[in-house]
Amino acid sequence: MPSPPARLAVTDRTCVRPDASADRADELRAVHRDALGNDHLVALSAYFTAASNETRLRMLYVLWRAGELCVCDLADLFEITQPAVSRHLKILREKAIVVARRDAQTLYYSVCTDNPFARLLVRLFEEQAASGVTLNLDGLTADPPDA
């Protein structure tokens, strides 16, 4: 069996791209430093983390389409326990992506349209709905719009 090719040692950090320049490299380093020190990106990351769970994202989609649902409705739809639904909603509520409204003993949840991140998700849902790509409880499917 032939031996794998030897790895090249990187001894020079100079860019070999023909369009590279010292000014551009300095500009990119400044952008990178800004990204590392940008607390807004850290906060935004927490919102993406909250919404990145597939079940939570599906719940957000359903809440957007339905307008408002209680925990038991979501538990029935997703075929998971009410405590599991409550845990997912707690994570979304902590980031103000969803809001709760109490009616006697029942909490009703909806997407918080005052939250810029939630509005961004709604916009994505609207765009994917308009494009003919439908998100359903069985997964993401590309269906052409009805002609």
User: Is 80 exceeded by the pLDDT of residue 138?
Assistant: no
What pLDDT band is residue 11 in, cutting at 50, 70 and 90? low
Q: Structural domain of residue 50, as residue ranges?
A: 42-142
Asked, for residue 32, whether it belongs to a domain, the answer is: no
Greater model confidence, 26 or 51 = 51
The answer to whether residue 6 is domain-embedded is no
For 138, the token pair is: 């069985």
User: What pLDDT was estimated at residue 56?
Assistant: 96
15, part of any domain: no
Q: Quick check: 98 and 112 in contact, CB under 8 A? A: yes
* 31 assigned to some structural domain: no
pLDDT digits over 71-129, tens only?
A: 999 999 999 999 999 999 999 999 999 999 999 999 999 999 999 999 999 999 898 88
Q: Which two tokens stand for residue 66?
A: 């339905």
**Residue in the block written with tokens 């939630």:** 118
pLDDT at 8: 44
Q: What is the CATH number of the domain that holds 97?
A: 1.10.10.10
23 part of a folded domain: no
Specify if 29 maps to a domain.
no
* SS3 annotation, 39-68: HHHHHHHHHHHHHCCHHHHHHHHHHHHHCC
Q: What's phi and psi for 33, nearest 5 deg? A: -60, -40
User: How many structural domains does the chain have?
Assistant: 1
**Rg, Å, the chain Cα set:** 23
The string of pLDDT tens digits covering residues 40-78 is 888 888 899 999 999 999 999 999 999 999 999 999 999
Q: Looking at the domain assignment, is residue 111 inside a domain?
A: yes
Q: Which residues of 45-73 are buried (b: 16+ CB within 10 A; e: fewer)?
A: eebeebbeeeebbbbbbbbbeeeebbbeb
Give which of 75, 38, 36, 56 is closest to 118, Cα–Cα. 56
Contact between 132 and 142 under an 8 Å Cβ cutoff? The reply is yes
